[in-house]
Amino acid sequence: MKHHQQGLALVTALLVIAIATVVATRIFYQQQINLRRTYNQLQAEQIWQLFRSAEQWGKVILREDLIANNYDSFNDTWAQALPPIAAEGGLFQAAMTDYQGCFNINNLVIAGQIQQQQVTIFKNLLSQKELNENLVWSLIDWLDADDEPNPQGAEWETYSLRQPPYRAANQALTDIQELYAVAHWGHEQITALAADICALPTAPAYTELGRYFPAQTEASPLNINTISLLLLKSLSVEMSAAKLDNVIKAQQQQGFKSVAEFFAKLDQENPQQPKLSSTLNRQLLSVSSFYFMLHYTGWIGNLEQQYQSLLYRNNKQINTLYRTRFY
């Protein structure tokens, strides 16, 4: 009996030790997870603070650029990317792009009215990309306020049949990724156009930003110093056959100080198309910009994070309109 009790006590002791070991291992494992989570949060906070510093750098550069000259081109300081810089135990790099060097989707419908000249430019761009020009109509129906579909367009009747059903936004886009929700648009079309289109914010869509800029009552102009060759060719039907190599070279080497200078160069390079510049609407073009996108990547330890920040420059006042983190 005594040996039986001793054996039972031994088994009990071993069982207690085993349970204690499991519990201790579990606690240790959870502590390691908590430590790693805390460490990652600290690293993420460091990257975020570096991003905010890079954002301030961008604002300073844009303000100084405005003082230096009244046009924006690839030769400006803001257009020169920052190489990877060591800071706070990690690295970060930043670059800015002119967001008026891309076609603003929201220009298609302004104050409830379809902008025919913008529609023509966008159709030309679709054609340059070998995409169906009728894609513009479902996009216009997504942007306009009514529920009446355009020919080749789509309104709530189309979206109500989807699973799950939804309605057209009937307002300006906030990001080109919203195009995935628009009828007839998909990965192929969006990927093909991604480098040449953007969705600039409007005051009605960003009411809290109304103090920074007025409601959109006219199209945001394209900066001829930063648009691509394909977008340049899309400005009119006649431009698709124009000789633009030297025009692009001048754009990239020194930029144009005025739209008039651009028109003169365009006509000079295309004597076979007299008054080619007259096919363009001067009001839709500019040599300066208000919107700039800051692209940022930060690394600390094994953690990498990417952010974007849309900056709006109005005279010497520069505001952050929104920030985006990429996962």
Does 164 sit behind a cis peptide bond, omega within 30 degrees of 0 on the bond before it? Answer: yes
Q: What is the pLDDT of residue 205?
A: 46
Last residue of a domain, one of 286, 302, 318: 286
Residues 71-130 have pLDDT tens digits of 999 999 999 999 998 987 788 999 999 999 999 999 999 988 999 999 999 999 999 999
Which one, of 104, 71, 137, lies nearest residue 284 by Cα?
A: 104
Residues 216 and 227 in one domain: no
Residues 239-273 have pLDDT tens digits of 999 999 999 999 999 999 999 999 999 999 999 99
Whether residue 197 contacts residue 103, with contact meaning beta carbons closer than 8 Å, is answered with yes
Q: What is the pLDDT of residue 204?
A: 44
**Residue 8, domain member (yes or no):** no
Q: DSSP 3-state assignment of 211?
A: coil
**Residue 25, domain member (yes or no):** no
Distance CA(51)–CA(295), nearest Å, equals 9
Residues 308 and 268 in one domain: no
Residues 156-184 have pLDDT tens digits of 889 988 999 999 999 999 999 999 999 99
Whether residue 10 contacts residue 17, with contact meaning beta carbons closer than 8 Å, is answered with no
CATH number at residue 208: 1.10.40.60
Distance CA(220)–CA(289), nearest Å, equals 9
Residues 198 and 129 in one domain: yes
Residues 94 and 200 in one domain: no
**Residue 80, domain member (yes or no):** yes
- DSSP codes joined into one string, 122-155: HHHHHHHTT--TTHHHHHHHHHSSS--PPTT---
Distance CA(300)–CA(51), nearest Å, equals 12
The H helix count followed by the E strand count for the chain is: 8, 11
Q: What percent of the chain has pLDDT over 90?
A: 67
Residues 73 and 111 in one domain: no
Q: What is the pLDDT of residue 207?
A: 46
Q: Is the pLDDT of residue 219 over 80?
A: yes
Residues 84 and 123 in one domain: no
Residues 270 and 301 in one domain: no
Angle, helices 245-253 vs 259-269, to 10°: value is 150
Residues 13-18, mean pLDDT to the nearest whole number: 74
Q: Is the pLDDT of residue 63 over 50?
A: yes
Last residue of a domain, one of 220, 238, 263: 220
Task: State the pTM of this model.
Answer: 0.84
Cα distances (angstroms) measured from residue 304 to each of 44, 50, 95, 118 = 8, 12, 16, 39
Domain tally for the chain?
A: 3
Last residue of a domain, one of 167, 198, 220: 220
Q: Is the pLDDT of residue 217 over 90?
A: no
Q: Show the tokens assigned to 108.
A: 């298609």
Q: What is the dihedral of CA 36, 41, 44, 50, to 10 degrees?
A: -120
Residues 124 and 234 in one domain: no
For 251, the domain range is: 221-286
Residues 24-46, mean pLDDT to the nearest whole number: 72
Residues 145-152, mean pLDDT to the nearest whole number: 88
Q: Is the pLDDT of residue 226 over 60?
A: yes
Whether residue 310 contacts residue 322, with contact meaning beta carbons closer than 8 Å, is answered with yes
Lowest mean pLDDT among 6-15, 92-101, 142-151, 196-205: 6-15
Q: Compute the residue count for the chain.
A: 327
Q: Is the pLDDT of residue 218 over 90?
A: no
